[in-house]
Amino acid sequence: MNAPILLQPDETFILNVGPQHPATHGVLRVKMEMSGEYIVNAETVIGYIHRMHEKMGELKTYPQFLMNLSRMDYLGALGYSHCHVLVVEKASGIVVPERAEYIRAIMVELNRIASHLFWFGAFVMDLGGFSPLMYALQDREHILDMLEAVTGSRLTYCYFRFGGLYNDIDDDFIAAARRFIPRMRKSLKKYKALVTGNIIFRKRLEGIAPLTPEMCRKYGASSAVARGSGINFDVRRNEPYSVYPEFDFDIPVYHECDSLARYMVRMDEIEQSLRIVEQGLDKLPGGPIMPDKKPKIIKPPAGDYYQAVETARGSFGVRLVSDGGKNPYRLKLRSPTYSNMHLFDEACRGMMIMDALAFMGSLDLVIPEIDR
Amino acid sequence: MICDKTKQALQSLFPKATPEPAESSPAIPSSEAQEKKAKAPAPRQDGVVERDYAVHGYHLDAQVSPDQLLEAVSILDEAAFFIESITGVDWIKENQLEVVYDFSRYDFDTCRVVIRTRLDRNNPVVPTITGIYAGANWHERETHDFFGIKFEGHPHLIPLLLPEDADFHPLLKDFKA
Amino acid sequence: MGTEKIPSSVVQFALADRLINIGRANSFWPLTFGIACCAIEMMATGCARFDMSRFGAEVFRPSARQSDVMIVAGTITKKMMPGIKTLYDQMPEPKWVMALGNCAISGGPFAFEGQYSIILGADQFLPVDVYIPGCPPRPEALLQGIIELEHLVSDWKRWKNPEAA
């Protein structure tokens, strides 16, 4: 008779949550050293979708780079493009007409709602519930239809230009957006009943993966990761840009520090984005969408410039080092998911693997944004 | 105001140098001014400079030598800044590599601080700040990947974004694929 | 290769083979292998509005051993390539590969001079059966790609070609 092989109390094995895995939301690899169900150590390996956006930033001219930002984070693409056009406009001194800024804000907020809806569906799917994905993507299709009618793309928009936009919105868009807002509010009630109040869902997330505010500070976490730990930080409030000072909206902050807090922050953010869209449509001024005077070739003066915006995933920053030429000298993209993902290694020690995957889902990862 | 307190604390690192006057950069300089700038780029001295936030996007700009780096970062850590990012810039014409550290704050007392150090391009070595900010780990690995800058004392300086056996540094200006 | 009808042993049952191929064509089981942006359109195709389930292909299997179509959706980097080859080798025969999106066809918007990290297209190392262009392609394009693959696998057409009529 063969002797059974038993794991000794101090013995561990390496489990590879590989680049191809339904729960990793892309090509992310986590090498976990496990002792039974518990994680002793974890090491994240990234770089499987490193497409060198920063090198392309140096080799392409400013207008040629506009398309890259949508591919970086495809779920909330307009927020990222917004940051890039803002920093180049700031550096070159291009003044954006007010109507263009309002339309930009409306589009970015609609895109934020679409991104949160997709995250919501994928997150609940990670935990095992397949139906909310169908409902969430159905709502998202309404937003995509609206955005497609104006920008021409469903997912990877290239809509903003330096100085404004390339296509104006029409009455159809405004009517569709006004119809969408009460519809989305009804859907939020449905999600609250279906998911947030679900006892299994709550038991899986309450008390899981507490992140202290000090840890968030050491890693530079932002968005729901920081706001679920009681840190009241939102770039739209702390460092206002564009027309956000004109809008009246709240920043949801929860103090429980667990995965459920991060989930609730994002669900409340959808409601706040709906408020911003409503106010944007009410206050929309008339006028042109591109400035009268704009340099033909964009050549910001030499120096370095920084702009941060609040995207669906956190504080995204673009650091532009210019030498006065047609191409940027150095274009650094500060990705929020990079900083958010970094604390996974330290935070998941001692957790069970199923809790660690729920934690990963609550961080809202988009891997091409980490790898750039 | 935390900005002034931080500026004073950082300036105490440079007892000899006189602080430079606050720079006011014009929005679109004329072409003659650009030519003048191109002709005589004086290397910047170590010190703290205040920048115009509306144009540049940050408040304080401190250039330090690699030995003063840890002290400067500790000052910011005690004042509860969070690390935003670390990156490098390749100034090939001056034969130098620059490491740029971005810091910011969570509260409404907004102050963005940028710390820079300049290194020799042939032997770029700088101490690591992972002892102070654990989040610098990946940022430093990425900067090492792209520029070849060695961070002394880093616990795990292996390629992060490039393949594990990569031995090239793509963002250097003389890199050919 | 996946496009040829695999002959069974000495005795050929032509009608049975045809029937089996029609069965294969109507029940593709894709591998959940979304790499980048195109993966989102793949998931949107699987959901309620575009509904891949009408064509029998909504059963995404996470394990390569249980799937027969690999939809390469996204840019392939040199770091990821050995993993993709391993996954392809793990799939049992008969298997097919669909290259979804410009990146999987030929590198897409990332194929430019100075590129050091991506592979210019899935067909550099995999035998691709159907190419679906777009950046990202619309879900309807992915459905058209599945129908093209059905035509490749079996000689049964879902509906007549409009030009032929």
**Which chains does chain C touch, 3 or more C-beta pairs < 8 A?**
A, B
Distance between CA atoms of residues A66 and A51, nearest Å: 15
C122 in Cβ contact with C104 (< 8 Å): yes
Q: Which residues pair with B97 in a beta bridge?
A: B90, B119
What are the tens digits of pLDDT across the range B149-164? 999 888 888 888 888 8
How many residues are given for chain A? 372
Of A212-226, A335-349, B32-46, C150-164, the least confident: B32-46
CATH superfamily of A13-371: Cytochrome-c3 Hydrogenase, chain B (1.10.645.10)
Residue A315: name the closest of B83, B2, B160 by CA: B83
- Residue located via tokens 């990946």: B138
Peptide bond into C127 cis (omega under 30): no
Which domains are seen in chain C, by residue range? 15-153 (3.40.50.12280)
pLDDT at A208: 82
Alpha-helical (H) ranges within A223-313 are 224-227, 235-238, 259-283
The number of beta carbons lying within 10 Å of the beta carbon of residue C93 is 8
Interface test with C, best of B162, B167, B171, B175 (most C CBs within 10 A): B162
- Ramachandran angles phi, psi of B150, nearest 5°: -95, 130
What are the tens digits of pLDDT across the range A347-357? 888 888 888 88
Residue C64: name the closest of A14, A24, A20 by CA: A20
Examine the pLDDT at B25 and tell me if it is beyond 90.
no
A330 in helix, strand or coil?
A: strand
Distance between CA atoms of residues C62 and C59, nearest Å: 10
Number of inter-chain CB pairs under 8 A, A vs B: 111
Interface test with B, best of A223, A304, A340, A349 (most B CBs within 10 A): A304
Distance between CA atoms of residues B142 and B100, nearest Å: 13
Of chain A, the percentage scoring pLDDT greater than 70 comes to 99
Question: What does pTM read for this prediction?
Answer: 0.89
How many residues are given for chain C? 165
**Helix axis angle, A98-126 to A353-362, nearest 10°:** 170
What are the tens digits of pLDDT across the range A189-242? 999 888 888 898 888 888 888 888 888 889 888 888 889 888 889 989 888 888
Distance between CA atoms of residues C85 and C90, nearest Å: 9
Interface test with A, best of C32, C33, C35, C38 (most A CBs within 10 A): C35
From the list B163, B168, B177, the residue facing C114 with the nearest CB is B177
What are the tens digits of pLDDT across the range A266-279? 999 999 999 999 99
Q: Which residues pair with C111 in a beta bridge?
A: none
A47 in Cβ contact with A338 (< 8 Å): no
Q: Per the CB < 8 Å rule, is A27 touching C80?
A: yes
Structure tokens that stand for B142 in this block: 């990425």
| Interface pTM, i.e. ipTM | 0.88
What are the tens digits of pLDDT across the range A13-25? 899 888 888 776 8
Residue A246: name the closest of A256, A254, A236 by CA: A236
Question: What average pLDDT does the structure give for chain B?
Answer: 79
Distance between CA atoms of residues A127 and A355, nearest Å: 9
A308 in Cβ contact with B57 (< 8 Å): yes
What are the tens digits of pLDDT across the range A251-309? 999 988 888 999 999 999 999 999 999 999 999 998 888 888 888 888 888 888 999 99
Residue B87: name the closest of B150, B176, B162, B147 by CA: B147
B177 at interface of C, judged by CB pairs closer than 8 A: yes
Residues with Cβ within 8 Å of residue C63, at least 6 apart in sequence: none
What's the pLDDT band for C154 if we cut at 50, 70, 90? confident
| Residue type at B72 in one-letter notation | A
Examine the pLDDT at B35 and tell me if it is beyond 50.
no
Of A48-52, A58-62, A343-347, C14-18, the least confident: C14-18
- Ramachandran angles phi, psi of A121, nearest 5°: -65, -45
Of A98-107, B51-60, C4-13, C125-134, the least confident: C4-13
pLDDT at B38: 42
Structure tokens that stand for A350 in this block: 């001692």
Q: Are strands B96-104 and B113-120 parallel, antiparallel or unpaired?
A: antiparallel
Structure tokens that stand for B152 in this block: 């002394």
C138 in helix, strand or coil?
A: coil
Domain ranges in chain A? 13-371
From the list A92, A218, A238, the residue facing B110 with the nearest CB is A238
Please state the rounded mean pLDDT for residues A61-70. 89
The number of beta carbons lying within 10 Å of the beta carbon of residue C141 is 17
Distance between CA atoms of residues A248 and A244, nearest Å: 8
For chain C, helix, strand, coil in percent to 5 are 40, 15, 50
Structure tokens that stand for A199 in this block: 């006892």
Examine the pLDDT at B18 and tell me if it is beyond 60.
no
Residue B129: name the closest of B68, B80, B172 by CA: B68
Residues with Cβ within 8 Å of residue C4, at least 6 apart in sequence: none
In chain B, which residue's Cα lies nearest the Cα of A344? B135
